[in-house]
Amino acid sequence: MSAHSDLLAGSVDVLIEPSDAPARRIGLVERAAETLVVTALAGELLAMFGNVVSRTVFGTSLLASLEVGELALVVITFLGGAIAYPRNEHMALHVVVQRLPSRWRPFIEALACWQVFAMALAGGWLAYGMMLSRWDERTPYLGLSAIWFAAPMILGMALLAYFAVQRVLAQHGRAALAAGVVVALAIGALYLGAASLGSQARGYALPAAFAVFVVQLALGVPIGFVLLIGTLVYLYASNTVPLSVVPINMQGGVSSFVMLSIPFFVLAGYVMTEGGLSKRLTDFIITLVGRFRGGMLQVIVVSMYIMSGISGSKVADVAAVGTTMKSVMRRERYDSGETAAVLASCAIMGETVPPSIAMLVLASVTSLSIGTLFVAGLLPAAVMAFCLMVLIYLRSRSRAGETRGHSVRDVARAGVVAIPALVAPVMLIGGIVSGAATPTEVSSTAVIYALVLSFVFYRSMGLRQLWSVMASTAAQAGMVLFITSTASTFSWSLTIAKLPQQIASLFSVLHGSATLFMIATLVTLIVMGALLEGLPALLIFGPLLLPMAPGFGIDPLQYGIVMIIAMGFGAFAPPIGVGMFVTCSICETSMENAARHMAPYLVVLAIGLLLVSLVPWFSLSVPRALGLI
């Protein structure tokens, strides 16, 4: 993988390695799986863009393309999610493990691997049962057998089991055997306990599931797997519905048409980064705002706002801007902790800049319109960006502008070079908001546009880079979609447990106060966003909390924007926000150094978040002006 591809990995364990460091060895099994996923991604792109061309040129839609896209999405979800595991791209909470004595870590890491193995075996077996139950089903247009849609889940679970065993045996030696015995005993205890309690086990099912959930998180098991394990534990112990519904719900969790666009938004961001489009945008921004006080930090804010409107992935945004600006920041003698603090703060700010994966996911699990969400997020993000820039200006009194001497001709020249890259976010946002095309159609067109620019116009990308970019996209998108799949299933199991009614009863003590409800939401999502990496928190609490907002007199659209920002706040806030670890790795600084510099930025962001929470105008004024609400 390229340096940028490595940096875009979403793991807490992301490390910056020298460019001449040896690449990670990829085995034959992983290479074969990677080839399948890249092929699926290419097939989905061709099918979706082919539908755009057919509808535009011939005035007719290729209905079969939707089935091709859905099949490709299932492959990306489960096979891409599987190859993301050996790449360490699955989000996990390692704060607890890192603070334990070093001699304990091999055993704990092996314990996590064996739990992934056990989860994969259970998930694969249930998926096999789903395949048998749908043996005779066929799709309406292409006549594809339903087994083609079940097979990727089975294969993905088999790959996860293989990778887990491979990792535990290769890295942990004698600790692997002891950890395996402990996991086997725990599974046996759960089985015997549920059997001996019988119907009484139903009362203990939810506490047991949450206990397992917390322990798994603390042990460093990747979040996507923790969600599935918690679901299995609850459904097995409660015996309310058969476990056979789990794979059906997992597949249904990524069956939304909006989900088809997620791989394309990620791919567009990768192509723009590797193809040099992001650098040209940054160069243009430097000529515009680099001359002001705290100039390079100001450039980061503006760059993150624009880049957030391209890739949809905040980790990709941080990597693209961070790697582009890193050498400039060193040359201008900025503290790496200050750079990381501003970069992470901008990631929080950019959560509502469209297109945002968080927005896409929230729209897919609620009744909110994706186009209206996109428009509603622009002003809140702009207000927070302005506040960050004012703070940077005030904190940089000792620094004049670092990039003096840019004439009007220099600005114009850089602007002309950046115009093709600037068209991408306009195309993405304008196409969706105007209703001219669906998010999937617009995002596939944006990918083709970025590829044409990179290969033909700028000539900055070759076929080898394209393969690396598509493989990284498949793993990153697979990780996101796998989490979406398991989080949707977990959220569904909480609904079965009547947790929404319990939460509603708990919130009754607020006596209908919109302010208290908003504050309770902020606290919940910031904490859960830090613990669960953000996106799973949104997937779990979005369907639970959003329906309650109208009862407190809060517009669901405003509430959705608040949820997204609060989730991002937790994900990028020190000391345990997963996004903050990634940012520190990119900037090559410690968490302690970055956290020290980030404190004033967090205060400003908190004030901005409160303004957006308590003043509906910030979220609703633009959609109202455009007649969307």
pLDDT in tens, 326-364: 777 888 788 888 889 999 999 899 888 888 888 888 888
Question: What residues form DSSP beta bridges with 138?
Answer: 145
Copy the structure tokens of residue 532. 């669960």
> Which residue would you say has higher pLDDT here, 593 or 95?
593
Per-residue pLDDT at 237 exceeds 80: yes
Among 65-74, 343-352, 372-381, 399-408, name the one with the lowest average pLDDT.
399-408
User: In Å, what is the CA distance from 119 to each residue of 105, 216, 354?
Assistant: 21, 12, 35
Per-residue pLDDT at 540 exceeds 50: yes
pLDDT in tens, 201-222: 677 888 888 899 989 988 889 9
Per-residue pLDDT at 6 exceeds 50: no
Q: What is the pLDDT of residue 7?
A: 36
% of the chain at pLDDT higher than 90: 29
Rounded to an integer, the average pLDDT of 160-167 is 94
Peptide bond into 355 cis (omega under 30): yes
CB-CB contact of 424 with 268 (8 Å): yes
Q: What is the pLDDT of residue 416?
A: 87
Rounded to an integer, the average pLDDT of 162-185 is 87
% of the chain at pLDDT higher than 70: 93
Reduce the DSSP state of residue 2 to 3 states and report it: coil
Any idea where the domains of the chain sit in the sequence? 3-17+25-258, 292-404+498-625
Q: What is the pLDDT of residue 4?
A: 38
Given phi > 0 = left and psi -120 to 50 = alpha, else beta, which region is 131? alpha
Rounded to an integer, the average pLDDT of 603-610 is 92
Phi, psi of 401 (to 5 degrees): -65, 135
What is the C-alpha separation between 212 and 236, in angstroms, rounded? 13
> Which residue would you say has higher pLDDT here, 581 or 491?
491
pLDDT in tens, 14-49: 333 333 334 567 789 999 999 999 999 999 999 999
Beta strands in 153-257 (DSSP E): none
Among 72-86, 125-139, 286-300, 483-497, name the one with the lowest average pLDDT.
286-300
Rounded to an integer, the average pLDDT of 370-399 is 87
Residue type (1 letter), 454:
S
Q: What is the pLDDT of residue 532?
A: 74
Q: What is the pLDDT of residue 398?
A: 59
Per-residue pLDDT at 534 exceeds 80: no
Residue with tokens 């624009």, as numbered in its chain? 306
Q: What is the pLDDT of residue 558?
A: 95
Per-residue pLDDT at 80 exceeds 80: yes
Residue with tokens 């050498």, as numbered in its chain? 327
Q: What is the pLDDT of residue 311?
A: 66
In the predicted model, what is the mean pLDDT of the chain?
Answer: 84
DSSP 8-state class, residue 99: T
Determine the Cα angle at 268 with ends 483 and 425, to 5°: 110
Instruction: Give which of 528, 466, 314 is closest to 2, Cα–Cα.
Output: 466
Per-residue pLDDT at 401 exceeds 50: no
DSSP 8-state class, residue 552: G
Reduce the DSSP state of residue 564 to 3 states and report it: helix
pLDDT in tens, 430-481: 777 777 777 888 888 889 988 998 888 888 888 889 999 999 899 988 998 9
Positive or negative: CA dihedral 17, 21, 27, 30: positive
Per-residue pLDDT at 157 exceeds 90: yes
Q: What is the pLDDT of residue 20?
A: 37
Copy the structure tokens of residue 280. 């040209």
Q: What is the pLDDT of residue 405?
A: 55
